A and B are shown apart, each in its own frame.
Chain A
Amino acid sequence: MPEIKTEQFFAASAAAMKNPKLRRALDRVGSGFDVARISAIDEVTPEVWEQWRQQGRDIKVHTIEHLDYYLDLLYTNVTAAGGQLHFANDASQANEIVAHIARTRNVKVATKSKSMVSEELELNPVLEAIGVEVWETDLGEYIIQLAKETPSHLVAPALHKSKEDVAELFTEKLGIPYDEDIFHMAATARTVLRDKFMEADLGISGANFVVAETGTLVIITNEGNGRLCTSAPRIHIGITGMEKVIPSMQDLAVFLRLLPRSATGQRITSYVSMITGPRRSDDEDGPEEFHLVLVDNGRSRMLADPALREALNCIRCGACLNICPVYQRIGGHAYGWVYPGPIGAVVSPMLIGLKQAKELPQASSLCGACREVCPVKIDIPRMLLDLRHKSAESPDKSQRSAKAAERTVARLYAMLMSSPRLLRLAVRCGRFLQKAERFIPFFSPLSKDGKWIKNAPLPPLSKWTRSRDLPTLPKQTFHEVWQKELSRDDS
């Protein structure tokens, strides 16, 4: 699996906040994707959209509840169509399945269309190690492959890069003159990749959905590269998570409405490819072999946990990233692993373990915007809370995000708030400290009028007053006002 940097979340997010170039790039998720999403929904009316969302959710919930049945049905139908279905428990098994196919079929060149699961598995180095040339052919993926980076968004992997960044990259890696015209750059990538499509022995794709009743792999794309990857080479391998199975073509129709609108605001993408098995005897072209690799890699842990199971409903549209005020500021790389944003903060702890990803669920204001936009109504804030709870009360200290000091603060807080007498005493101490402050030399955390704390001496308040003022305690609490002025005034 790719290098896991989730533990560096704090430092990485702080660095991202200071990166003005990144901020400009990220402005596009709100002003571009999310604005497009809203107008696509307005077009069908929010009422109709709500019905579709509910249909989508119902299908997903039903499928995940009966996953064993639908996987079995999928196996039957992939096999019946002449394909082979492989099941991989983890990343190394999945990579070995693909490597084995490549080795035994003497594959020299592989082209890939976009697949987040292959990023999760870190498949490319495995293939390269056995001498296979691997070419990412989605434009965004191609850019980050050249730059030796990882995707920063589920749908737009090179979102963090400006067109100037890409022009520089192309100059450096392809030895062409600097040209920041987007159409020219796309044409350059197209020329390079066109040859590779012709050379490739193996085409690797992801899958947005796999349909159990027909054994069909469905990819929805905008660039046409997916179609070339899955039809030109003699072997096609589709790789995806086991949760991507849906029961029927009728169900697919629901998701074909939900996914493009949620992801890019399109009514439908430029290409919708449905692939069932390899070339048939009467087909003029198409791959001779079709393999579907379904990956578990931690997903059954999610399935086993009732509080987190619904994360398996995710169709990877990226709408929750685009709306998230945290993602909008720090971008995808700060999250430290393949899946960023609100859904990533749920999926990563489940796939790579809470120990390494325990900071991610903390990094949310729980504003709930993600849940509001999710096309399958995943309750992300609840799952973040559940993960916070699992972390806080874990017997395994390595899973705890809260340091000893924070745990003590939580206990003291509960103690204080359980006793109105203690609370009164604490408030009096606070007021005394506020008054005593001016007698301490070289120590002036308060504003001149005493109404604001400008510069608190200790965390957590000092973290607040870095950039915000905090009101000081007033002369009376509401309790005191009530007793003096309000309690007998019930006219």
Chain B
Amino acid sequence: MTQDANITADLFVTCIVDQLYPEVGVSVVKVLRRLDVAVGFPQEQTCCGQPVYNTGFNKEARKLAKRVLEQFRDSEYVVVPSGSCAATLRVFYLELFSDDPELLSEAKALAAKTFEFSEFLVKVLKVEDAAACGATHQGTAAYHPSCHQLRELGVKSEPKKLLFSVPGLEEKELEGAEVCCGFGGAFSVKFPHISEGMVADKIANVQASGAETLVSCDMSCLMNIGGALNRQGSDVKVRHLAQILDPDSQ
């Protein structure tokens, strides 16, 4: 296990995992506990506000952001199973509160202790080998990095290190992995024709990779890619990294 026993981390589960993919949240908790992290879950949490922030409704976004600042004020670490939502807490809140010194300093404090799930494992818990989680996986997998995880957080190697160290798992190369899947929040329904074109290319690459499972650290991308794969009748599965690392979830 890790050298840093007795670490306490609060889970910001994200609204999409809460409402649509609770099993991802369960895997996150189980993986963290296996690594000796004491996991907390502030009950009042809902959404980070990114959907309203991204559409320009900053007033509404501030309202939701203030709730997050409050709920995680006393956390030692905040772990987020989404690169995009982690970027909201860590990057976008600083911009949202740039003209309010008091809230800005709170946002900075939150940013300093907020980590995306894979990043938390590698950077804080110093886990680089998935064997530490007891994970095994029979089959092939490809990895899709989310844009926000990659380009707002700069988390690039961590998830791949973890994923491709899972015993039994065979890596498949995904062509155009770093190209956006076309989700983009409201963009996907405001300009469905463009978004559809983007996800069509993504699933073509996923299918061409020959992977049985597509893994990512963002369920929003996977909702988009998985939804398009399902419509095509594809049997490629989509999974959050935590589900692959969690031996109880297969």
Contacts and interface: CB of A to CB of B under 8 A. Distances in A.
Q: Do A and B come from one complex?
A: yes
Interface of A: 10, 13-14, 17, 325-326, 329-330, 362-369, 371-372, 382, 385, 387-393, 401-402, 406-407, 410-411, 413-414, 416-418, 420, 423, 427, 452, 454, 459-461, 463-464, 466-471, 473-474, 476-482, 485-487, 489-491
Given A367-B179, A477-B19, A486-B41, 10 more contacts: A13-B191, A362-B190, A363-B194, A368-B147, A389-B56, A401-B56, A466-B196, A467-B192, A469-B230, A473-B20
Interface of B: 13, 15, 17-23, 25-26, 29, 33, 38-39, 41, 43-47, 49, 51-61, 63-64, 67, 95, 147-148, 150-152, 178-180, 182-201, 223-224, 226-228, 230-231
Contact of B198 (A329, A391, A463, A487): A329
18 contacts: A10-B191, A14-B193, A364-B187, A372-B151, A385-B53, A388-B54, A413-B51, A413-B60, A418-B67, A452-B227, A463-B189, A467-B196, A468-B228, A469-B231, A471-B21, A474-B21, A478-B26, A486-B26
The residue in B63, B191, B224 that gathers the most chain A C-beta atoms within 10 A of its C-beta is B191
Nearest to A414: B60
B30 to A, nearest CB: 9
Given A467-B228, A471-B227, A487-B41, A392 B56 contact: yes
A417 B191 contact: no
Contacts of A463: 188-190, 192
Contacts of B224: 468
A473 to B, nearest CB: 7
Nearest to B222: A471
A423 B54 contact: no
A363 B227 contact: no
A302 to B, nearest CB: 19
A364 B191 CA distance: 9
A407 B186 CA distance: 13
A393 B59 contact: yes
Contact of A325 (B23, B38, B43, B198): B198
Contact of A329 (B56, B186, B194): B194
Contact of B56 (A17, A369, A393, A454): A393
A490 B187 contact: no
Contacts of B223: 470-471
A464 B55 contact: no
A464 B200 CA distance: 13
B52 A369 contact: no
Contacts of B195: 365
A355 to B, nearest CB: 15
Contact of B184 (A366, A372, A461): A366
A362 B230 contact: no
Nearest to B48: A417
Contacts of A413: 47, 51-52, 60
Contacts of B15: 417
The residue in A325, A389, A402 that gathers the most chain B C-beta atoms within 10 A of its C-beta is A325
B194 A464 contact: no
A486 B29 contact: yes
A392 B56 CA distance: 5
B46 A417 contact: yes
A17 B46 contact: no
B227 A469 contact: yes
Nearest to B14: A478
A401 B55 CA distance: 10
A417 B64 contact: yes
B55 A406 contact: yes
Contacts of A367: 147, 151, 179-180, 184
A365 B147 contact: yes
Nearest to A9: B191
B89 to A, nearest CB: 15
A47 to B, nearest CB: 16
B132 to A, nearest CB: 17
A411 B71 CA distance: 21
The residue in B22, B41, B63, B223 that gathers the most chain A C-beta atoms within 10 A of its C-beta is B22
A417 B188 contact: no
The residue in A411, A413, A468, A473 that gathers the most chain B C-beta atoms within 10 A of its C-beta is A468
A473 B187 contact: no
A329 B195 CA distance: 10
B183 to A, nearest CB: 7
B192 A474 contact: no
A135 to B, nearest CB: 37
Given A365-B182, A468-B227, A478 B13 contact: yes
Nearest to A391: B56
B203 to A, nearest CB: 10
Ordered nearest first, which 8 A-B pairs have the shortest CB separation?
Answer: A365-B184, A392-B56, A388-B56, A367-B180, A414-B60, A368-B151, A468-B227, A460-B189
Contact of B227 (A393, A464, A480, A486): A464
B231 A468 contact: yes
B184 A13 contact: no
A388 B193 contact: no
A385 B54 contact: yes
Nearest to B199: A468
Given A10-B191, A14-B193, A365-B187, A390 B56 contact: yes
